Amino acid sequence: MKFMHLSDLHLGKRVNEFSMIEDQEYILKQILEIADREAVEVVLISGDVYDKPIPPVEAVRLLDQFLVDLGKRHLPVFLISGNHDSVQRLSFGNRLLAEGGLYIAPEYDGMLKPISLQDEYGAIDVFMLPFVKPAHVRRFHPDEEIESYTDAVRVALSAATAGAEGTPVESLRRILLSHQFVTGASRSDSEEVSVGGLDNVDAQAYAGFDYVALGHIHGPQDIHFDGEEAEGGCPKIRYCGTPLKYSFSEANHEKSVTLVEVKEKGDVEVRAIPLTPLHDMRQIRGTYLEVTSREFYRKFDQNDYIQVTLTDEEDIPDAVGKLRIIYPNLMKMNYDNKRTRESQEVDGAEQVEQKSPLQLFEELYVLQNNQGMTEEQKKASQALIETIWEDER
Ligand SMILES: [Mn+2]
């Protein structure tokens, strides 16, 4: 059976104040084309469907359209909530929607019952564990010792029951959707994982599954399972990543969807299909003259989401406004020069009182620009200071 594994759509997200909704609409269409081309049979969406617990209307519309488009293709869809979603809001109507093949994980209630699918090799049980914290799991398993996220996931999964009756355990294949930070995963800037790093789950907690479709971490990556081998081999554990770049730390990612082909027990094949965004995310650097030369910008799409790092020693007046003429989707601009590289300490009050206004101003200038004033600038400043003082008398 052929699964498509998606996660972290973050519908409704704004990146550096730019709405991503058009980019998201574009990429969801591309995902549908891939589903058609690859003859995908089941879609898994592993959390962070929306960017916010109360998503904007256009994000709700977009998800609705995407689910309708999948429904038209008669593809069963499994969807769990991530830490950005509100599990109660996202799972509204889930018992009714399940009738139509749209399975949305309800709020965690201490149980984990699978939906059973059938293919030529027998039954495949699909389990859905929405994003959980230790407190969620503790509430339903008060007798278990749950101190960490690893404990929470382990205990939650230990309550997993078998779905289809009659399929012998040794040939039963088990798929899990989960949205957690698994130990060892490499992060990027857009995840908003809680700081402190106490939220990680050891991969061993996922023993006993054939494929674990993870969400939460935004770069696509396989997770190495170093636990004791369960019967039927190690699980394949993978983050499929976001369909779009959501921070400049992801500028060099290749975004993709993950296709998972599950054959007989022990035979799971994973493939990434690259996605091409409406606007790429790109970091460029150079002097103002360099980055505004045609020779420079004709090598890529000027409509990309751009971060410019200017290396000029002197600030360019209204640089953002000017750069936006060439790069309309300029998201960020910063300087990398002597001024931004070095920081200096400010003197205490006593030393300040002994200095002349010009000396103080000169120090401020050096602090900001990491170079002294020219003689001309000194003269102009001195004249200005005298004029101001004259007025005050
Ligand atoms: Mn996320």
* Domain CATH for 37: 3.60.21.10
- Can you list the positions of beta strands (E) in 97-229? 102-104, 115-119, 122-129, 173-179, 181-182, 200-201, 211-215, 221-223
pLDDT computed for residue 225 by the predictor: 84
Q: What is the mean pLDDT of residues 303-321?
A: 95
Instruction: Identify whether residues 267 and 387 lie together within a single domain.
Output: no
Instruction: Identify whether residues 31 and 155 lie together within a single domain.
Output: yes
CA of 350 to the centre of ligand 1 (A): 51
CA of 330 to the centre of ligand 1 (A): 24
Could you tell me if residue 33 is left (phi over 0), alpha (psi between -120 and 50 degrees) or otherwise beta?
A: alpha
Helices 57-72, 21-37: inter-axial angle, 10-degree rounding: 10
pLDDT computed for residue 193 by the predictor: 66
pLDDT computed for residue 56 by the predictor: 97
- Separation between Cα atoms, residue 314 and residue 228, nearest integer Å: 59
Is 60 exceeded by the pLDDT of residue 344?
Answer: no
pLDDT tens digits along 248-288: 999 999 999 999 999 999 899 999 999 999 999 999 999 99
For the entire predicted model, the pTM comes to 0.84
Q: Are strands 256-262 and 236-239 parallel, antiparallel or unpaired?
A: unpaired
pLDDT tens digits along 146-188: 999 999 999 999 988 777 676 777 789 999 999 999 988 888 8
pLDDT computed for residue 339 by the predictor: 84
Q: What's the total number of domains in the chain?
A: 3
Instruction: Identify whether residues 303 and 382 lie together within a single domain.
Output: no
CA of 246 to the centre of ligand 1 (A): 10
- Separation between Cα atoms, residue 60 and residue 57, nearest integer Å: 5
Which two three-digit tokens encode residue 16?
């550096």
CA of 179 to the centre of ligand 1 (A): 9
Q: How far is CA 252 from the centre of its chain?
A: 14
Residues, the chain, total? Answer: 393
Instruction: Identify whether residues 171 and 290 lie together within a single domain.
Output: no
Residue 300: other Cβ atoms inside 10 A: 12
- Separation between Cα atoms, residue 12 and residue 30, nearest integer Å: 18
Instruction: Identify whether residues 253 and 313 lie together within a single domain.
Output: no
CA of 83 to the centre of ligand 1 (A): 7
Which two three-digit tokens encode residue 149?
């996220």
Instruction: Identify whether residues 144 and 181 lie together within a single domain.
Output: yes
Instruction: Identify whether residues 213 and 302 lie together within a single domain.
Output: no
| Domain that includes residue 366, residue range | 348-392
pLDDT computed for residue 162 by the predictor: 72
Encoded amino acid at 27, one letter: I
pLDDT computed for residue 345 by the predictor: 53
Instruction: Identify whether residues 185 and 297 lie together within a single domain.
Output: no
CA of 176 to the centre of ligand 1 (A): 18
- Separation between Cα atoms, residue 124 and residue 115, nearest integer Å: 8
Residue among 219, 274, 223 nearest 251 (CA): 219
Q: 281 or 389, which is more confident?
A: 281
Is 70 exceeded by the pLDDT of residue 220?
Answer: yes
Residue 272: other Cβ atoms inside 10 A: 17
CA of 251 to the centre of ligand 1 (A): 16
Residue among 224, 173, 206 nearest 42 (CA): 173
pLDDT tens digits along 8-27: 999 999 999 999 999 999 99
- Separation between Cα atoms, residue 230 and residue 281, nearest integer Å: 41
CA of 116 to the centre of ligand 1 (A): 27
pLDDT tens digits along 86-135: 999 999 999 999 999 999 999 999 999 999 999 999 999 999 999 999 99
Q: 234 or 117, which is more confident?
A: 117
Instruction: Identify whether residues 86 and 184 lie together within a single domain.
Output: yes
The residues near 310 (Cβ < 8 Å, ≥ 6 apart) are 285, 286, 287, 288, 291, 316, 319, 333, 334, 335, 336, 337
CA of 186 to the centre of ligand 1 (A): 13
Residue among 133, 237, 228, 135 nearest 182 (CA): 237
State which of 257, 274, 291 marks the end of a domain: 274
Q: How far is CA 55 from the centre of its chain?
A: 16
Instruction: Write phi, then psi, for 357 (nearest 5 degrees).
Output: -55, -40
pLDDT tens digits along 26-72: 999 999 999 999 999 999 999 999 999 999 999 999 999 999 999 99
Instruction: Identify whether residues 51 and 156 lie together within a single domain.
Output: yes
CA of 97 to the centre of ligand 1 (A): 24
Instruction: Identify whether residues 66 and 182 lie together within a single domain.
Output: yes
